[in-house]
Each structure stands twice: as C-alpha cells, then as structure tokens.
Amino acid sequence: MNLWLIFWALMLVVAGGSFAAITVVVTVRGFRDLRQWFASLSRQNADP
Amino acid sequence: MNFTPVDWAIVVGYLVTTLAVGLVGKRYVGTVSHYLVAGRELGLYVGIATLAATEIGTITFMYNGEFGYRYGFAAFAPALISGLVMIFVGRTGFVIRRFRDLRLMTVPEYFEVRYSRGLRIVTGVLVALGGILNMGVFLRIEGEFLTVVSGIDSRYLVGVMTAILLLELVYTVLGGMVSVVITDFLQYVLLSVATILVSIYAVTFAGWGHIVSKVTTVMGHAGFSPIANPKFGITFLVWQTLLWLSLHTCWQTTAMRVFSTKSAETSKRVMTWTGFIFLGRGMLPMLWGIAALTLYGTGALHRGVPQPVVAGQTLAPIDAMPAMLAHILGPGVRGVVVAGMLAATMSVNSSYLLGWSAVISQDVILPVRQALGRGALGARAQIFVNRIANLFVSLFLMFWGLYYTPPGAVYLYLNITGTIFLAGAFVCVVGGLYWRRSNVLGGYVAMLAGAAGAIVPFFILKWNENVTGFAAFGLALCGLVVGSLLGRGER
C-alpha cells in the first residue's frame, strides 16, 4: 500500500506541476498563434 | 443561495465576454473548411488550448470526482493511462500523422477513402449515435453541478440547462470551428485557473494526512491498488489502454483538432503536450472527489463506500464534490471557479455539438444525397446543413438529458457509449492504415460487431463495464480479420 501511495503522490505532483506550467506557457504564447491564425484566415478569404 | 453579488458579477461578465468573442469568429468563416477545421491553420499553442478545452468540461470534473470518491487513489489508474497513451500517440504519430496528411474533415470520411461510401454512412450513423448518447448526459450533470455550487433551487435545473445550451449554440452555429477555437482559448485559461484553485483549496481543507487515512479506513489496499480493486483488475487496465488509444485517435472532437492543425508535425506536438495536461485532467478532479469523501463520507455504506452527508442531507456520490466546493470556497473565489466550470462546460459542449453535427451532415446526409444521384452542395449550402444538424443535436440533448439517468458511475457509462463506435472504428482505421488485406466486408463486420459488442452486453445482458468494453474491442478485431479474409481481397 505504501508503494502505491508513494507512486500516486509522485504522479500527482507531476500531473499538477505540468498542468500549471503548460497553462502559463500556452496562455502567453497562444495570443501570437491567434493573431497569425486570424491573418491567415483573412488572406484565405481575400483570395478568390 | 451560496452566491454573493461579486460571484454573480464574475459569472455574468464571463458569459457576456464569451458570447462577444465567439461572435467575432463568424466574420472569418468563408468556406466549409473554415467552418469545420478552422482552415487547417492552427498553431501549436492554440492547438493545445483548444484540444485541452474540448476534452475538459464540468462533466469531466464531475465524473472524475465521482470516480475518486468511489474508488480512492486506485481511480488514478485510468487518468494515468489516458495521459501516457496520448503522449505515446503524439510522440509516434500513430494514426494521427496519416490522418492529418489525408486532409480529412471527419473520422468517417476516412472510411470512404479506404473502404467504401456505404461503410462511411454506416460508420457515420454509429459515430453520431454513440457520440450523441455519450453527450446526452452532459447537460443534466453540468446543470446539477451549477445548481449545487451556486445554490440555485434545483427546480430551475431545466432552465439552467437550457440557458447553457442556447448560449453555446448561438456562437457555434454562427461561427463554427473558428468561434469554437477562439472561445476555447479564453475558456482554457479560465478553466485551468479554476482547476488549480480548487485543487489547492481541496487539499488544504481536507488535509493530505486525513485523505490518506480516510481511503485506508474505507477501502484498505483496494483504495490504492487498481489491480487489487475488484472493480478494476488487469482486464480493466487493458480495456482502458485500448479505449484511450482509440479515443485519442478516432474520437471525432479530438480528431477535428488534429485535422485543424497546420501540419502533421504540429498535430503530433499538440498531442504530446496535451498528454501532460490529461494527467491533471483526470487526477486533480479525482483528488477533489477523495477530499469530498474525507470531509463528507459519513453516511450509510452503499456498494462499500459511505454515502456523502452534507448539512444532514444524504447526497449521491457524484454530488459530493460540488457540495464540497459550495462549502469551502469563499466569495469571489466561488465566482471564479463557477465561471471556470462554465467555461469548461461551454468549450466541451460547443465542440461536441460541432463534432457530431459535422458527422451527421458530412457523413450521413451528404453521402446519402450523392448515393441518390443528387448533385454536390455548394459551400454555403453545406454550412447551412451543418447548422441545421447542430440544432437537431441540441434538441435531442435537451430531451435525453431530462429523461435518462445513467446507471452506476458516469465515467463508465461514457466509456461504454463511446465504445459503441470506437471499437469498430479504431480497428478499421488501424487495419486500413497498417494492414493491406483489410477490406470492405471486414470493415462492415468490424463496425457492426463492435457496436453489438457494446450495446447487447451493457444495455441488455447487464454485464459489467470492463467485460463489455473488452468484448466490444475483441469482437471488432475478430470481425475485421474474419471478414477481410472471407472478402474479396484489398481495395
């Protein structure tokens, strides 16, 4: 039981830590992605 | 009523912003490809945000919370499998790389490319059936969450459900995938903040030591080991691995994100990083459920677990987690969390509405028209058909959500309804991509055997979920192999 508990506690730290870290990175860099995507869609709509 | 004016202001502010942002998307929609797959131009970070937001809803928090409440730390096993399998798919490009290269818009479309138009239609019907039944329980459970946390009278559940559906329907119908992706980004940020906040609150209030002690007392070794737990065992773990492998490759809403990325390489990176998010997507709400068990699991034993008792009232295990949030979150924080959960709800529902209606329009209505000798539809007409399908799916969801209550754990109900088409679709897709001898007859037998293997044992014979899931995948595989060997060679 102790081994399972240690394993799940470790997994929980990895899961929580990566969830928080990826959220920060995606929030900051996602805006640039969105701008590029809008520009691309506008170009596609402008092309006949 | 648990909500203060500050909480209401936060929630209303979020709803107004989402609607406004969602409506912006309409101006960018010029073609069917914009409407369904965002013009195939999504970059890495927006790709991660939209994929994560699509697959993290209030329903996800609710069923994972319930799973944690019922099975303790052992419940973490499927969450771990879901994340690891996604990372594997992302790293190897298994199925998704070839899917992206084929420039598809829906999963059943592949069946016409590889097998036949008839099989595409059959698959489309099964995908839509399984997908809509799967989504059918979302609204009720999400409505329950919101009424429990906010303290709105449960008599207004139908009104809350209808309001949620109408809001997301407006921007999904008008702006399609473009609106869905823009709102997904906003919703991803908000739901992530809410997830982190709730996790901190839950562990702080329940206490790690008390959590471990409660699981030990109530469940013993079975509360930690998924192998020792009688509900799980090796068959469950193998079924979950197969199920998540099929979900991450053939689930329509996930696959639409793969189809929407700039390139196959981008889709692989999106999948890999979202795999890490999936670890938290499962484990964190399961932890909230275990915290709820620790704080409120004092009632009579039901299936080996004490029922939650909150303020003298006995609740269902699935309602323990939202009841805990209503008690432990302070004013302001509660508003942020509910706004985050609403964000999660709307991002999932809008994507699912779009996903299943896309299958109905692109893989059932349009191919049937072609088979009847009608001419192809133009872009505007196709978008119109998609919008009508959206409305149809929404109406069905309202009625199914009102009148159907899933038996047992919701997580397992969702798994089984997904398996109706996933078993056959996954086997056919993998066979079609990697086995030259798979053919049309094998495809039909696999799809029908997979669906029968999920529906008959679960809904009629009342077998338990992991045996049912195992049977469905096994029958689908046998069906593809036997049918293909008996059929007329490769196509």
B290-319 pLDDT, tens digit per residue, is 999 999 999 988 888 999 999 888 999 999
Query: Mean pLDDT, to the nearest integer, of B41-64?
Result: 91
Would the CB atoms of A41 and B28 count as touching at under 8 Å?
yes
Amino acid letter for position B474: G
Would the CB atoms of A15 and B182 count as touching at under 8 Å?
no
Which of A24, A33, A42, A44 to mutate: most B Cβ within 10 Å? A33
Would the CB atoms of B48 and A11 count as touching at under 8 Å?
no
Would the CB atoms of A8 and B73 count as touching at under 8 Å?
yes
Amino acid letter for position A26: V
Size of interface A-B (CB pairs under 8 A): 111
Q: How are strands ordered across the β-sheet holding B305-310? A: B297-302, B305-310, B313-314
By the CB < 8 Å criterion, does A32 face chain B?
yes
Identity of the residue in B43, B178, B224 whose CB atom sits nearest the CB atom of A41: B178
Q: Supply the angle between the helices A2-46 and B264-296 in degrees, to the nearest 10.
A: 140
A-chain CB neighbours of B28 within 8 Å are: 38, 41-42, 45
Asked if the model's pLDDT at residue B230 lies above 80, the reply is yes
Alpha helices in B261-304 (DSSP H): 264-296
Sequential DSSP letters for chain A: -HHHHHHHHHHHHHHHHHHHHHHHHHHHHHHHHHHHHHHHHHHHHH--
- How far apart CA B405 and CA B95 sit, in angstroms, is 35
- At B356, phi and psi to the nearest 5? -75, -35
Kindly report, residue by residue over B311-366, the tens digit of the pLDDT. Answer: 888 999 999 999 999 899 888 888 888 888 888 888 788 888 888 888 898 899 98
Q: Which has more pLDDT, B401 or B111?
A: B111
Query: Mean pLDDT, to the nearest integer, of B401-427?
Result: 81
Radius of gyration of chain A (CA): 20
Residue of A nearest to B49 (CA): A26
B-chain CB neighbours of A5 within 8 Å are: 73, 212, 224
Asked if the model's pLDDT at residue B196 lies above 80, the reply is yes
DSSP state of B305: E
Query: Mean pLDDT, to the nearest integer, of B469-481?
Result: 92
Identity of the residue in B188, B220, B224 whose CB atom sits nearest the CB atom of A8: B224
A-chain CB neighbours of B60 within 8 Å are: none
Asked if the model's pLDDT at residue B402 lies above 90, the reply is no
Identity of the residue in B47, B80, B225 whose CB atom sits nearest the CB atom of A11: B80
B-chain CB neighbours of A11 within 8 Å are: 76, 80, 279, 283
Residue B183: which pLDDT band, with cuts at 50, 70 and 90?
Answer: confident
Asked if the model's pLDDT at residue B408 lies above 70, the reply is no
- How far apart CA B292 and CA B56 sit, in angstroms, is 20
Residue B489: which pLDDT band, with cuts at 50, 70 and 90?
Answer: low
Would the CB atoms of B196 and A42 count as touching at under 8 Å?
no
B-chain CB neighbours of A16 within 8 Å are: 196, 199, 280, 283-284
Q: What does each C-alpha distance from B180 to A30, B194, B253, B318, B339 come to in angstroms?
A: 15, 20, 11, 28, 17
Q: Which among A3-12, B10-19, B186-195, B359-368 has the top mean pLDDT?
A: A3-12
- How far apart CA B334 and CA B327 sit, in angstroms, is 10
Q: Which residues contact B473 (CB under 8 A, 6 or more apart)?
A: B239, B242, B243, B419, B423, B426, B427, B450, B453
Residue B491: which pLDDT band, with cuts at 50, 70 and 90?
Answer: very low
Q: Which among B58-62, B398-402, B457-461, B464-468 has the top mean pLDDT?
A: B58-62
User: How much is the mean pLDDT over chain B?
Assistant: 88
Kindly report, residue by residue over B102-117, the tens digit of the pLDDT. Answer: 988 889 999 999 999 9
Would the CB atoms of B45 and A12 count as touching at under 8 Å?
no
pLDDT at B1: 62
A-chain CB neighbours of B84 within 8 Å are: none
Sequential DSSP letters for B209-234: HHHHHHHHHHHGGGGT-TTTSTTSSH
A-chain CB neighbours of B193 within 8 Å are: 23
Which of A4, A31, A36, A47 to mutate: most B Cβ within 10 Å? A4
Kindly report, residue by residue over B248-291, the tens digit of the pLDDT. Answer: 999 988 998 899 899 999 999 999 999 999 999 999 999 999 99
Q: Which has more pLDDT, B152 or A48?
A: B152
Across B378-387, B403-412, B430-439, least confident range:
B403-412
Measure A47 CA to nearest chain B CA, in Å: 11
Would the CB atoms of A30 and B216 count as touching at under 8 Å?
no
Alpha helices in B372-439 (DSSP H): 379-403, 410-434
By the CB < 8 Å criterion, does A35 face chain B?
no
Q: Name the residue among B359, B341, B391 with its Cα closest to residue B172.
A: B391
Find tokens 């999936």 and name the residue: B278
Would the CB atoms of A37 and B41 count as touching at under 8 Å?
yes
% of chain B at pLDDT higher than 90: 47
Q: Name the residue among B480, B116, B426, B46 with its Cα closest to residue B251.
A: B426
By the CB < 8 Å criterion, does A6 face chain B?
no
User: How much is the mean pLDDT over chain A?
Assistant: 90
- How far apart CA B15 and CA B183 sit, in angstroms, is 11
Residue B24: which pLDDT band, with cuts at 50, 70 and 90?
Answer: confident
B-chain CB neighbours of A42 within 8 Å are: 28
Would the CB atoms of A37 and B43 count as touching at under 8 Å?
yes
